[in-house]
Amino acid sequence: MAEPSAMPEPALSLREHIAAIEHFGELRHVRGADWDLELGAIAELSYRMPEPPAVLFDEIRGYAPGLRVLTGSTGSARRLGRTLRLGDDLDDVGLVAALRGKPSAWAAAAADHPVRPVESAPLLANEVAGADVNLLDFPVPRWHDRDGGRFIGTGCLVVTSDPDTGVHNGGCYRMEVQDEGASVTISAVPGKHGAQNVERWFARHGYAPVTVSFGHDPLLLVLGGTEVPAGVSELAYAGAVLGEGVPVVLAPDTGLPIPAGGEIAVEGWLRPDHKRDEGPFGEWTGYYTGRRRPCLALEITRMYHRDDPILLGAPPGRPPHDYSYMRTVMKSAMIHDELVATGVPGVEAAWAHEAGGGRLFIAVSLRQRYAGQARQVAHLAAQLPAAAYMNRYVVVVDDDIDPRDLDQVIWAVSTRTDPAEDFEVMRRTWGSRLDPMLPDGATPHNNRAIIDACRPYERLGSFPEVVGSAPEHLAEIRRKWGAALEG
Ligand SMILES: Cc1cc2nc3c(=O)[nH]c(=O)nc-3n(C[C@H](O)[C@H](O)[C@H](O)COP(=O)(O)O)c2cc1C
Protein backbone atom coordinates (compact mmCIF):
# COMPACT_ATOMS: atom_id res chain seq x y z
CA MET A 1 0.00 0.00 0.00
CA ALA A 2 1.37 3.44 -0.87
CA GLU A 3 2.11 5.70 2.08
CA PRO A 4 -0.34 8.63 2.17
CA SER A 5 1.86 11.61 1.34
CA ALA A 6 -0.47 14.13 2.97
CA MET A 7 -0.24 12.51 6.39
CA PRO A 8 1.81 14.70 8.77
CA GLU A 9 4.75 13.15 10.62
CA PRO A 10 3.57 12.06 14.09
CA ALA A 11 5.58 13.19 17.10
CA LEU A 12 8.67 11.07 17.76
CA SER A 13 9.35 10.40 14.11
CA LEU A 14 12.79 9.00 13.31
CA ARG A 15 12.64 10.77 9.94
CA GLU A 16 12.42 14.17 11.61
CA HIS A 17 15.41 13.31 13.77
CA ILE A 18 17.39 12.29 10.70
CA ALA A 19 16.45 15.55 8.94
CA ALA A 20 17.62 17.52 12.00
CA ILE A 21 21.01 15.81 12.22
CA GLU A 22 21.48 16.16 8.45
CA HIS A 23 20.91 19.87 9.00
CA PHE A 24 23.56 19.84 11.79
CA GLY A 25 26.03 18.37 9.26
CA GLU A 26 26.43 15.32 11.52
CA LEU A 27 25.01 12.65 9.19
CA ARG A 28 27.03 10.43 6.83
CA HIS A 29 25.42 8.30 4.11
CA VAL A 30 26.80 4.84 3.35
CA ARG A 31 25.38 2.92 0.37
CA GLY A 32 26.03 -0.66 -0.63
CA ALA A 33 27.40 -2.07 2.66
CA ASP A 34 26.64 -5.63 3.81
CA TRP A 35 24.28 -6.28 6.76
CA ASP A 36 26.66 -9.09 7.66
CA LEU A 37 29.43 -7.45 9.73
CA GLU A 38 30.01 -4.44 7.48
CA LEU A 39 27.36 -2.17 9.05
CA GLY A 40 28.66 -3.06 12.51
CA ALA A 41 32.29 -2.43 11.61
CA ILE A 42 31.53 0.88 9.85
CA ALA A 43 29.54 1.96 12.90
CA GLU A 44 32.44 0.91 15.17
CA LEU A 45 34.86 3.04 13.13
CA SER A 46 32.45 5.98 13.36
CA TYR A 47 32.32 5.83 17.18
CA ARG A 48 36.11 6.15 17.33
CA MET A 49 36.24 9.30 15.21
CA PRO A 50 37.10 12.53 17.08
CA GLU A 51 33.60 13.85 16.32
CA PRO A 52 31.53 10.70 15.79
CA PRO A 53 28.87 11.19 13.11
CA ALA A 54 25.54 9.39 12.77
CA VAL A 55 25.45 6.99 9.81
CA LEU A 56 22.46 6.23 7.58
CA PHE A 57 22.91 2.99 5.65
CA ASP A 58 20.97 2.47 2.42
CA GLU A 59 21.11 0.04 -0.51
CA ILE A 60 22.19 -2.62 1.96
CA ARG A 61 23.43 -5.77 0.21
CA GLY A 62 20.55 -8.07 -0.70
CA TYR A 63 17.88 -5.46 0.14
CA ALA A 64 15.94 -2.95 -1.91
CA PRO A 65 16.99 0.70 -1.77
CA GLY A 66 15.00 2.58 0.86
CA LEU A 67 15.25 -0.14 3.52
CA ARG A 68 17.63 1.69 5.84
CA VAL A 69 19.46 1.46 9.17
CA LEU A 70 20.58 4.43 11.30
CA THR A 71 23.42 4.24 13.86
CA GLY A 72 24.98 6.85 16.14
CA SER A 73 21.66 8.65 16.68
CA THR A 74 22.63 10.25 20.03
CA GLY A 75 26.43 10.30 19.84
CA SER A 76 27.07 14.06 20.18
CA ALA A 77 25.91 16.88 22.43
CA ARG A 78 23.87 18.39 19.58
CA ARG A 79 22.18 15.09 18.71
CA LEU A 80 21.47 14.21 22.34
CA GLY A 81 20.41 17.78 23.16
CA ARG A 82 17.97 17.68 20.25
CA THR A 83 16.71 14.26 21.33
CA LEU A 84 16.01 15.53 24.85
CA ARG A 85 14.42 18.72 23.48
CA LEU A 86 16.97 20.81 25.38
CA GLY A 87 18.26 22.75 22.36
CA ASP A 88 19.88 22.22 18.98
CA ASP A 89 23.26 23.84 19.54
CA LEU A 90 24.49 22.58 22.91
CA ASP A 91 28.06 21.51 23.56
CA ASP A 92 29.06 18.90 26.18
CA VAL A 93 29.17 21.34 29.07
CA GLY A 94 25.98 23.12 27.98
CA LEU A 95 24.13 19.83 27.69
CA VAL A 96 25.10 18.71 31.19
CA ALA A 97 24.08 22.11 32.58
CA ALA A 98 20.75 22.03 30.71
CA LEU A 99 20.01 18.53 32.06
CA ARG A 100 20.50 19.48 35.74
CA GLY A 101 17.27 18.66 37.59
CA LYS A 102 15.43 17.60 34.45
CA PRO A 103 15.18 13.81 35.05
CA SER A 104 13.35 14.24 38.36
CA ALA A 105 11.16 17.03 36.91
CA TRP A 106 10.22 14.84 33.92
CA ALA A 107 9.49 11.86 36.16
CA ALA A 108 7.24 14.04 38.32
CA ALA A 109 5.42 15.49 35.27
CA ALA A 110 4.93 12.14 33.51
CA ALA A 111 1.50 11.50 35.07
CA ASP A 112 0.23 14.70 33.40
CA HIS A 113 1.20 13.46 29.94
CA PRO A 114 -0.53 10.12 29.26
CA VAL A 115 -0.27 8.59 25.80
CA ARG A 116 -2.69 9.89 23.15
CA PRO A 117 -4.28 7.12 21.03
CA VAL A 118 -4.61 7.99 17.30
CA GLU A 119 -6.42 6.17 14.51
CA SER A 120 -4.04 6.81 11.63
CA ALA A 121 -0.27 6.85 11.30
CA PRO A 122 2.26 6.22 8.52
CA LEU A 123 3.23 3.10 10.50
CA LEU A 124 -0.11 1.53 9.56
CA ALA A 125 0.66 1.69 5.81
CA ASN A 126 1.54 -2.02 5.79
CA GLU A 127 -0.01 -4.66 8.05
CA VAL A 128 1.29 -8.24 8.09
CA ALA A 129 -0.53 -11.13 9.76
CA GLY A 130 1.47 -13.14 12.29
CA ALA A 131 1.80 -16.21 10.06
CA ASP A 132 3.35 -14.09 7.28
CA VAL A 133 5.82 -12.16 9.41
CA ASN A 134 9.44 -12.28 8.30
CA LEU A 135 11.65 -9.88 10.22
CA LEU A 136 14.45 -10.66 7.79
CA ASP A 137 12.50 -8.75 5.13
CA PHE A 138 14.41 -5.87 6.75
CA PRO A 139 18.21 -5.52 6.66
CA VAL A 140 18.79 -6.70 10.24
CA PRO A 141 22.53 -6.55 10.89
CA ARG A 142 24.85 -9.15 12.31
CA TRP A 143 26.76 -6.49 14.22
CA HIS A 144 29.82 -8.27 15.71
CA ASP A 145 31.63 -11.30 14.34
CA ARG A 146 30.90 -13.59 17.31
CA ASP A 147 27.26 -12.62 17.72
CA GLY A 148 25.00 -15.66 17.79
CA GLY A 149 22.71 -14.19 15.12
CA ARG A 150 21.12 -11.07 13.67
CA PHE A 151 19.91 -8.59 16.30
CA ILE A 152 16.95 -6.43 15.24
CA GLY A 153 16.53 -5.11 18.78
CA THR A 154 19.18 -2.77 19.85
CA GLY A 155 17.48 0.64 19.60
CA CYS A 156 14.01 -0.87 20.15
CA LEU A 157 11.25 -0.08 22.66
CA VAL A 158 9.58 -3.10 24.26
CA VAL A 159 6.26 -2.16 25.87
CA THR A 160 4.80 -4.30 28.67
CA SER A 161 2.28 -3.50 31.38
CA ASP A 162 1.83 -4.12 35.08
CA PRO A 163 -1.17 -6.49 35.29
CA ASP A 164 -2.26 -4.91 38.60
CA THR A 165 -2.02 -1.21 37.82
CA GLY A 166 -2.09 -1.23 34.01
CA VAL A 167 0.91 1.16 33.97
CA HIS A 168 2.98 0.69 30.82
CA ASN A 169 6.70 0.13 30.80
CA GLY A 170 8.99 0.81 27.86
CA GLY A 171 12.38 -0.90 27.93
CA CYS A 172 15.21 -1.40 25.50
CA TYR A 173 16.52 -4.98 25.40
CA ARG A 174 18.54 -6.87 22.86
CA MET A 175 16.39 -8.92 20.47
CA GLU A 176 17.72 -11.68 18.22
CA VAL A 177 15.76 -12.74 15.15
CA GLN A 178 14.61 -16.38 15.46
CA ASP A 179 12.90 -19.04 13.36
CA GLU A 180 14.17 -17.62 10.04
CA GLY A 181 12.51 -14.29 10.77
CA ALA A 182 9.16 -15.52 12.13
CA SER A 183 10.00 -14.75 15.76
CA VAL A 184 12.38 -12.85 17.99
CA THR A 185 13.80 -13.32 21.48
CA ILE A 186 13.65 -10.56 24.13
CA SER A 187 16.52 -10.66 26.57
CA ALA A 188 15.47 -8.54 29.57
CA VAL A 189 17.66 -9.11 32.62
CA PRO A 190 15.73 -10.26 35.76
CA GLY A 191 14.92 -7.26 37.95
CA LYS A 192 14.42 -4.85 35.04
CA HIS A 193 10.92 -3.40 35.16
CA GLY A 194 9.95 -5.03 31.86
CA ALA A 195 11.10 -8.45 33.13
CA GLN A 196 9.16 -7.93 36.37
CA ASN A 197 5.98 -7.13 34.41
CA VAL A 198 6.38 -10.27 32.32
CA GLU A 199 6.90 -12.38 35.46
CA ARG A 200 3.76 -10.89 37.04
CA TRP A 201 1.71 -11.63 33.90
CA PHE A 202 3.03 -15.21 33.87
CA ALA A 203 2.07 -15.67 37.54
CA ARG A 204 -1.47 -14.27 37.00
CA HIS A 205 -2.37 -15.39 33.48
CA GLY A 206 0.31 -17.75 32.14
CA TYR A 207 1.24 -15.39 29.29
CA ALA A 208 2.34 -11.77 28.82
CA PRO A 209 1.29 -9.24 26.15
CA VAL A 210 4.05 -7.24 24.47
CA THR A 211 4.48 -4.67 21.69
CA VAL A 212 7.82 -3.63 20.21
CA SER A 213 8.76 -0.61 18.11
CA PHE A 214 11.93 -0.93 16.02
CA GLY A 215 12.48 2.57 14.65
CA HIS A 216 11.49 5.85 16.32
CA ASP A 217 12.86 9.14 17.52
CA PRO A 218 15.84 8.19 19.73
CA LEU A 219 14.12 9.83 22.70
CA LEU A 220 12.48 6.42 23.13
CA LEU A 221 15.85 4.67 22.89
CA VAL A 222 17.24 7.01 25.56
CA LEU A 223 14.29 6.58 27.93
CA GLY A 224 13.78 2.87 27.20
CA GLY A 225 17.50 2.32 27.80
CA THR A 226 17.81 4.32 31.01
CA GLU A 227 16.56 3.50 34.51
CA VAL A 228 13.38 5.57 34.62
CA PRO A 229 11.86 5.15 38.14
CA ALA A 230 9.60 2.15 38.80
CA GLY A 231 5.90 2.80 38.22
CA VAL A 232 6.57 5.64 35.74
CA SER A 233 5.75 4.80 32.13
CA GLU A 234 8.58 5.70 29.74
CA LEU A 235 5.94 6.76 27.21
CA ALA A 236 4.41 9.22 29.69
CA TYR A 237 7.92 10.34 30.64
CA ALA A 238 8.57 10.98 26.94
CA GLY A 239 5.34 13.01 26.95
CA ALA A 240 6.76 15.10 29.80
CA VAL A 241 9.92 15.74 27.75
CA LEU A 242 7.83 16.72 24.71
CA GLY A 243 5.29 18.72 26.72
CA GLU A 244 2.43 16.72 25.13
CA GLY A 245 1.16 13.14 25.22
CA VAL A 246 2.95 10.74 22.86
CA PRO A 247 0.64 9.69 19.98
CA VAL A 248 0.22 5.93 19.96
CA VAL A 249 -1.59 3.27 18.01
CA LEU A 250 -3.35 0.77 20.27
CA ALA A 251 -2.39 -2.71 19.10
CA PRO A 252 -5.59 -4.69 18.38
CA ASP A 253 -4.61 -8.04 19.94
CA THR A 254 -2.82 -6.95 23.10
CA GLY A 255 -4.30 -3.47 23.61
CA LEU A 256 -0.81 -2.15 24.33
CA PRO A 257 0.42 1.14 22.83
CA ILE A 258 2.83 1.42 19.90
CA PRO A 259 4.45 4.82 19.26
CA ALA A 260 2.66 6.22 16.18
CA GLY A 261 5.91 7.81 14.97
CA GLY A 262 7.48 4.34 14.63
CA GLU A 263 8.82 2.65 11.49
CA ILE A 264 8.27 -1.04 12.23
CA ALA A 265 6.31 -2.60 15.11
CA VAL A 266 5.13 -6.01 16.23
CA GLU A 267 2.73 -7.24 18.87
CA GLY A 268 2.35 -10.65 20.40
CA TRP A 269 2.61 -12.88 23.44
CA LEU A 270 5.35 -14.28 25.62
CA ARG A 271 4.77 -17.64 27.29
CA PRO A 272 7.01 -19.15 29.98
CA ASP A 273 7.75 -22.31 27.99
CA HIS A 274 8.20 -20.66 24.58
CA LYS A 275 11.93 -20.12 24.31
CA ARG A 276 14.69 -20.12 21.73
CA ASP A 277 18.44 -20.21 22.16
CA GLU A 278 19.87 -16.69 22.17
CA GLY A 279 23.28 -14.98 22.14
CA PRO A 280 26.07 -14.48 22.56
CA PHE A 281 26.14 -10.77 21.75
CA GLY A 282 28.90 -8.17 21.88
CA GLU A 283 27.85 -6.13 24.90
CA TRP A 284 28.42 -2.66 26.39
CA THR A 285 31.04 -4.00 28.79
CA GLY A 286 33.20 -4.60 25.71
CA TYR A 287 32.91 -8.40 25.94
CA TYR A 288 30.75 -11.17 24.53
CA THR A 289 28.41 -12.69 27.05
CA GLY A 290 28.94 -16.36 27.72
CA ARG A 291 27.17 -19.18 26.02
CA ARG A 292 24.07 -19.39 23.86
CA ARG A 293 21.17 -20.01 26.24
CA PRO A 294 17.36 -20.28 26.17
CA CYS A 295 15.46 -16.98 26.19
CA LEU A 296 11.78 -15.99 25.93
CA ALA A 297 10.65 -15.76 22.29
CA LEU A 298 7.78 -13.59 21.09
CA GLU A 299 4.81 -15.25 19.41
CA ILE A 300 4.12 -12.46 16.92
CA THR A 301 0.46 -11.98 16.04
CA ARG A 302 0.79 -8.87 13.90
CA MET A 303 3.35 -6.55 12.35
CA TYR A 304 3.08 -3.03 10.95
CA HIS A 305 5.61 -1.06 8.96
CA ARG A 306 5.97 2.15 7.02
CA ASP A 307 6.96 2.10 3.37
CA ASP A 308 10.75 2.03 3.14
CA PRO A 309 11.17 1.67 6.90
CA ILE A 310 14.28 2.67 8.81
CA LEU A 311 15.66 0.52 11.64
CA LEU A 312 17.16 2.36 14.60
CA GLY A 313 20.42 0.53 15.39
CA ALA A 314 22.31 0.98 18.65
CA PRO A 315 24.98 -1.72 18.76
CA PRO A 316 27.00 -1.83 21.98
CA GLY A 317 30.67 -2.85 22.25
CA ARG A 318 33.90 -1.80 23.90
CA PRO A 319 33.34 1.87 24.79
CA PRO A 320 32.94 4.29 23.13
CA HIS A 321 30.02 2.55 21.44
CA ASP A 322 26.70 3.56 19.96
CA TYR A 323 24.96 4.73 23.12
CA SER A 324 27.79 5.12 25.63
CA TYR A 325 27.74 8.92 25.33
CA MET A 326 24.00 9.16 25.99
CA ARG A 327 24.23 6.66 28.84
CA THR A 328 27.01 8.62 30.50
CA VAL A 329 25.19 11.94 30.19
CA MET A 330 21.82 10.53 31.31
CA LYS A 331 23.19 8.43 34.16
CA SER A 332 25.30 11.29 35.44
CA ALA A 333 22.30 13.62 35.52
CA MET A 334 20.07 11.01 37.17
CA ILE A 335 22.64 10.03 39.79
CA HIS A 336 23.23 13.70 40.62
CA ASP A 337 19.49 14.31 40.87
CA GLU A 338 18.92 11.26 43.05
CA LEU A 339 21.82 12.17 45.35
CA VAL A 340 20.47 15.69 45.80
CA ALA A 341 17.02 14.20 46.48
CA THR A 342 18.42 12.21 49.43
CA GLY A 343 18.92 15.56 51.16
CA VAL A 344 22.66 15.13 51.71
CA PRO A 345 24.20 18.59 51.24
CA GLY A 346 27.25 19.57 49.24
CA VAL A 347 27.04 17.20 46.26
CA GLU A 348 28.54 19.24 43.43
CA ALA A 349 28.57 16.86 40.44
CA ALA A 350 28.47 13.19 39.46
CA TRP A 351 29.93 11.49 36.41
CA ALA A 352 29.27 7.93 35.23
CA HIS A 353 32.33 7.44 33.06
CA GLU A 354 32.00 6.28 29.46
CA ALA A 355 34.98 3.94 29.85
CA GLY A 356 32.88 2.04 32.42
CA GLY A 357 29.91 1.94 30.08
CA GLY A 358 28.17 4.60 32.21
CA ARG A 359 27.65 2.03 34.96
CA LEU A 360 30.87 0.53 36.27
CA PHE A 361 32.83 3.61 37.34
CA ILE A 362 31.14 6.62 38.95
CA ALA A 363 32.89 9.70 40.34
CA VAL A 364 31.11 12.18 42.63
CA SER A 365 32.45 15.52 43.85
CA LEU A 366 31.52 16.84 47.26
CA ARG A 367 32.01 19.96 49.36
CA GLN A 368 32.53 18.25 52.75
CA ARG A 369 30.41 19.60 55.59
CA TYR A 370 30.78 16.95 58.33
CA ALA A 371 32.81 13.92 59.34
CA GLY A 372 31.63 10.74 57.62
CA GLN A 373 29.84 12.56 54.82
CA ALA A 374 32.13 11.30 52.06
CA ARG A 375 31.41 7.67 53.01
CA GLN A 376 27.71 8.38 53.25
CA VAL A 377 27.68 9.81 49.74
CA ALA A 378 29.76 6.92 48.41
CA HIS A 379 27.46 4.25 49.88
CA LEU A 380 24.33 6.07 48.71
CA ALA A 381 25.69 6.61 45.20
CA ALA A 382 26.55 2.94 44.82
CA GLN A 383 22.97 1.88 45.61
CA LEU A 384 20.79 4.58 44.07
CA PRO A 385 18.14 3.20 41.70
CA ALA A 386 19.97 4.91 38.81
CA ALA A 387 23.28 3.29 39.76
CA ALA A 388 22.64 0.00 41.59
CA TYR A 389 22.68 -2.31 38.57
CA MET A 390 26.23 -3.42 37.83
CA ASN A 391 28.11 -0.58 39.44
CA ARG A 392 31.65 -1.62 40.47
CA TYR A 393 33.45 1.54 41.66
CA VAL A 394 32.30 4.79 43.21
CA VAL A 395 35.00 7.39 43.85
CA VAL A 396 34.14 10.43 45.96
CA VAL A 397 36.39 13.45 45.49
CA ASP A 398 36.55 16.98 46.92
CA ASP A 399 34.96 19.83 45.03
CA ASP A 400 38.29 21.11 43.65
CA ILE A 401 38.34 17.97 41.47
CA ASP A 402 36.29 17.75 38.27
CA PRO A 403 34.71 14.28 38.44
CA ARG A 404 34.46 14.18 34.62
CA ASP A 405 38.24 14.44 34.27
CA LEU A 406 39.73 10.98 34.85
CA ASP A 407 43.24 12.44 35.25
CA GLN A 408 42.04 14.61 38.11
CA VAL A 409 40.11 11.71 39.66
CA ILE A 410 43.15 9.43 39.50
CA TRP A 411 45.32 12.22 40.95
CA ALA A 412 42.91 12.48 43.90
CA VAL A 413 42.90 8.69 44.39
CA SER A 414 46.70 8.67 44.18
CA THR A 415 47.28 11.50 46.65
CA ARG A 416 44.27 11.58 49.00
CA THR A 417 43.69 7.94 49.88
CA ASP A 418 45.18 5.45 52.25
CA PRO A 419 44.24 2.07 50.77
CA ALA A 420 43.99 0.57 54.26
CA GLU A 421 41.38 3.16 55.29
CA ASP A 422 39.67 4.55 52.25
CA PHE A 423 38.64 1.53 50.20
CA GLU A 424 35.54 -0.40 51.29
CA VAL A 425 33.83 -3.33 49.62
CA MET A 426 30.09 -4.07 49.47
CA ARG A 427 29.34 -7.70 48.78
CA ARG A 428 26.63 -9.66 46.97
CA THR A 429 25.13 -6.58 45.29
CA TRP A 430 23.13 -6.35 42.01
CA GLY A 431 25.33 -7.81 39.30
CA SER A 432 24.59 -9.35 35.93
CA ARG A 433 25.28 -12.23 33.65
CA LEU A 434 26.85 -9.63 31.37
CA ASP A 435 29.69 -9.18 33.86
CA PRO A 436 32.86 -10.63 32.33
CA MET A 437 34.08 -11.29 35.91
CA LEU A 438 31.10 -13.54 36.77
CA PRO A 439 32.16 -17.19 36.73
CA ASP A 440 30.06 -19.34 34.42
CA GLY A 441 26.90 -20.56 36.17
CA ALA A 442 27.32 -18.33 39.25
CA THR A 443 24.41 -16.30 40.66
CA PRO A 444 24.65 -12.79 39.23
CA HIS A 445 25.80 -10.92 42.33
CA ASN A 446 28.76 -8.62 42.20
CA ASN A 447 30.99 -6.96 44.78
CA ARG A 448 31.67 -3.26 44.53
CA ALA A 449 34.22 -0.88 46.00
CA ILE A 450 33.81 2.64 47.21
CA ILE A 451 36.90 4.82 47.24
CA ASP A 452 36.91 7.82 49.56
CA ALA A 453 39.38 10.08 47.74
CA CYS A 454 38.41 13.19 49.70
CA ARG A 455 40.95 14.81 51.99
CA PRO A 456 40.36 13.38 55.52
CA TYR A 457 37.72 15.59 57.13
CA GLU A 458 39.70 16.14 60.33
CA ARG A 459 42.67 17.39 58.26
CA LEU A 460 40.79 19.73 55.94
CA GLY A 461 42.47 22.74 57.55
CA SER A 462 45.97 21.28 57.60
CA PHE A 463 46.17 19.11 54.47
CA PRO A 464 49.12 20.15 52.26
CA GLU A 465 48.26 22.98 49.88
CA VAL A 466 47.78 22.14 46.20
CA VAL A 467 50.50 23.51 43.92
CA GLY A 468 49.30 25.75 41.10
CA SER A 469 48.87 29.40 40.29
CA ALA A 470 45.66 31.20 41.18
CA PRO A 471 43.26 31.39 38.20
CA GLU A 472 43.42 35.22 38.19
CA HIS A 473 47.23 35.10 38.08
CA LEU A 474 47.12 32.59 35.21
CA ALA A 475 44.66 34.78 33.29
CA GLU A 476 46.97 37.77 33.72
CA ILE A 477 50.00 35.75 32.61
CA ARG A 478 48.10 34.44 29.61
CA ARG A 479 47.32 37.98 28.55
CA LYS A 480 50.96 38.98 28.96
CA TRP A 481 52.78 35.90 27.65
CA GLY A 482 50.17 33.83 25.80
CA ALA A 483 51.30 34.93 22.33
CA ALA A 484 54.88 33.92 23.03
CA LEU A 485 53.73 30.53 24.31
CA GLU A 486 51.53 29.76 21.33
CA GLY A 487 54.35 30.73 18.90
C1 LIG B 1 20.73 -0.31 23.09
C2 LIG B 1 20.45 -0.90 24.44
C3 LIG B 1 20.41 -2.26 24.61
C4 LIG B 1 20.11 -2.80 25.87
N5 LIG B 1 20.03 -4.17 26.00
C6 LIG B 1 19.59 -4.69 27.17
C7 LIG B 1 19.33 -6.09 27.27
O8 LIG B 1 19.56 -6.86 26.35
N9 LIG B 1 18.83 -6.56 28.45
C10 LIG B 1 18.57 -5.72 29.51
O11 LIG B 1 18.07 -6.19 30.54
N12 LIG B 1 18.84 -4.40 29.45
C13 LIG B 1 19.32 -3.87 28.29
N14 LIG B 1 19.57 -2.53 28.20
C15 LIG B 1 19.43 -1.70 29.40
C16 LIG B 1 17.98 -1.43 29.72
O17 LIG B 1 17.34 -0.89 28.60
C18 LIG B 1 17.87 -0.46 30.88
O19 LIG B 1 18.38 -1.07 32.04
C20 LIG B 1 16.45 -0.01 31.11
O21 LIG B 1 16.41 0.89 32.19
C22 LIG B 1 15.54 -1.17 31.40
O23 LIG B 1 14.25 -0.68 31.54
P24 LIG B 1 13.22 -1.29 32.59
O25 LIG B 1 13.90 -1.34 33.94
O26 LIG B 1 12.09 -0.32 32.52
O27 LIG B 1 12.87 -2.66 32.14
C28 LIG B 1 19.89 -1.96 26.97
C29 LIG B 1 19.95 -0.57 26.80
C30 LIG B 1 20.23 -0.04 25.54
C31 LIG B 1 20.27 1.46 25.39
pLDDT range class, residue 289, cuts 50, 70, 90 = confident
Q: Which atom of ligand 1 is nearest to the CA of 281?
A: 8
pLDDT band (50, 70, 90) for residue 85: very high
pLDDT at 7: 80
pLDDT at 241: 98
pLDDT at residue number 1: 47
Region 432-437 average pLDDT: 94
| Closest ligand 1 atom number to CA of residue 155 | 1
**Mean pLDDT taken over the chain:** 96
Nearest CA to ligand 1 atom 7: 173
Closest ligand 1 atom to Cα of 158 = 27
* Least confident range of 3-7, 391-395, 440-444: 3-7
Rounded mean pLDDT of 40-54? 98
Report the side by side order of strands in the sheet with 310-312.
27-31, 54-58, 68-71, 310-312
Compute the average pLDDT of residues 297-312: 98
Q: What's the pLDDT tens digit per position in 152-186?
A: 999 999 999 999 999 999 999 999 999 999 999 99
Q: Which residues line ligand 1 (CB under 6 A)?
A: 154-155, 169, 171-174, 187-189, 192-194, 221, 224-227, 314, 323
Which atom of ligand 1 lies nearest, measured to the CA of 169? 26
pLDDT tier at 5, thresholds 50, 70, 90: low
The whole-number pLDDT of residue 409 equals 98
Residue 413: the pLDDT is: 98
Q: State the distance from the centre of ligand 1 to the C-alpha of 172, rounded, in angstroms.
A: 4
User: Residues of the chain with pLDDT > 90: what percent?
Assistant: 94
What percent of the chain stands above pLDDT 70? 99
The answer to which of 153-157, 187-191, 234-238, 311-315 has the lowest mean pLDDT is 187-191
Is the confidence at residue 468, as pLDDT, over 60?
yes
For the stretch 91-102, pLDDT in tens is 988 998 899 899
Which is nearest to 177 in space by CA: 139, 211, 215? 139
pLDDT at 6: 64
What would the mean pLDDT of 43-52 be, rounded to a whole number? 98
pLDDT at 2 over 60: no
